[in-house]
């Protein structure tokens, strides 16, 4: 009996190729990108469409009756938040519906783990892919708000790496939910109880410092709050010490979310 059979690992793991973890994660990411490329145009329409509607309806519609906030129009105020809300939704859909389809419906994960790819590489590749796909979404919305003249600083270009990192964070959070889901319907709880409150109360549509103290405290526990603050500082060209704090908070949430989803998925895959 081979060593791999004794250990319970798939037999392909006994013949590991050079490069190890990073090559394995890269191959999982590449596989997902190859599949996505077939419907990239449709995905781009969604990335452009929804933020554009919010910008027109709220920024330029409601914005006509809302006074300036911090010396900027209401459209300019909400624009940076729309960039990263697109990141959140892109990563969340990929980490829930996309990952669950590969996990439970298509059994893609089982097929991948029958190769020399390990479960650690699989999870890392999935999370990295979520970050890459989210950065595409961030780029799409950044182009939209730039066309409307709502991007006053070249620092806004850094919203693209921000989209990648925060996209990994939201993907890891979503995959933690996927690991305990028994059906697609279970995701309704996550979108209603977690994603929707983040979208509404993370400072995209109103300044948090004007709200009651309890709202401000509550918002600090929402991961999107930190990403919105970073995005607004970059788009407006006003980074500060507070921006550094929000960056640290985002990275800590990313590490914690990755650790949780990795543990839960290993248990789900029984590895």
Task: Calculate the alpha carbon distances from 77 to 14, 110, 152, 175 in Å.
Answer: 55, 45, 12, 31
d(C-alpha 117, C-alpha 115), whole Å: 5
| Radius of gyration of the chain measured on its C-alpha atoms | 20
Tell me the domain boundaries of the chain: 18-268
Taking phi first (over 0 means left), then psi (-120 to 50 degrees means alpha), and beta for anything else, what does residue 60 get?
alpha
Q: What is the mean pLDDT of the chain?
A: 88
* Separation between Cα atoms, residue 198 and residue 37, nearest integer Å: 29
**126-148: pLDDT as tens digits:** 999 999 999 999 998 998 899 88
Q: What does pTM read for this prediction?
A: 0.89
CA distance 153 to 237: 5
Per-residue model confidence (pLDDT) at position 19: 61
Q: What is the reported pLDDT for 24?
A: 92
How does pLDDT run across 204-216, given as a tens digit for each residue?
999 998 888 898 9
Spatial CA neighbour of 171 closest among 27, 26, 29, 24: 29
- Strand, helix or coil for residue 72: strand
Each residue's pLDDT tens digit, 5-27: 333 344 445 455 546 889 999 99
Q: How far is the C-alpha of 128 from the C-alpha of 88, rounded, in Å? A: 14
Q: Which whole number is the average pLDDT over 234-257?
A: 96
Task: Match 């449709």 to its residue by tokens.
Answer: 42
Per-residue tokens: 63: 């914005």
Question: What is the pLDDT, as a whole number, of residue 9?
Answer: 41
φ, ψ for residue 183 (rounded to 5)?
-160, 170
Kindly state the percentage of the chain with pLDDT values over 70. Answer: 90
Q: Say how many CA atoms lie within 13 Å of 255 toward its Cβ.
A: 6
**Is 256 strand, coil or helix?**
helix
């Amino acid at each position: 009996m081979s060593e791999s059979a004794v250990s319970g690992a798939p037999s392909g793991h006994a013949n590991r190729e050079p490069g190890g973890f990073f090559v394995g994660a890269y191959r999982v990411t590449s596989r997902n990108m190859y599949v996505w490329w077939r419907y990239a145009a449709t995905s781009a329409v969604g990335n452009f469409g929804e933020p554009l509607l919010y910008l027109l309806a709220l920024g330029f519609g409601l914005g006509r009756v809302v006074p300036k906030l911090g010396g900027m129009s209401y459209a300019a105020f909400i624009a940076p938040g729309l960039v990263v809300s697109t990141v959140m939704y892109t990563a969340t859909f990929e980490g829930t519906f996309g990952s669950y389809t590969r996990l439970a419906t298509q059994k893609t994960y089982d097929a991948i783990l029958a190769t020399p790819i390990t479960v650690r590489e699989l999870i890392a590749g999935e999370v990295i892919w979520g970050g890459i796909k989210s950065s595409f979404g961030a780029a799409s919305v950044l182009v939209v708000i730039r066309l409307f003249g709502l991007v006053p600083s070249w620092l806004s270009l850094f919203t693209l790496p921000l989209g990648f990192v925060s996209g990994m964070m939201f993907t890891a959070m979503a995959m933690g939910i996927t690991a305990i889901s028994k059906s697609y319907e279970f995701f309704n709880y996550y979108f209603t109880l977690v994603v929707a409150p983040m979208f509404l109360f993370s400072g995209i549509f109103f300044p948090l410092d004007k709200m009651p103290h309890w709202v401000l405290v509550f918002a600090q526990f929402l991961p999107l709050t930190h990403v919105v603050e970073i995005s607004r500082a970059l788009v407006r060209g006003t980074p500060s010490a507070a921006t550094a704090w929000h960056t640290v908070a985002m990275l800590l949430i990313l590490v914690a979310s990755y650790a949780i989803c990795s543990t839960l998925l290993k248990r789900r895959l029984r590895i």
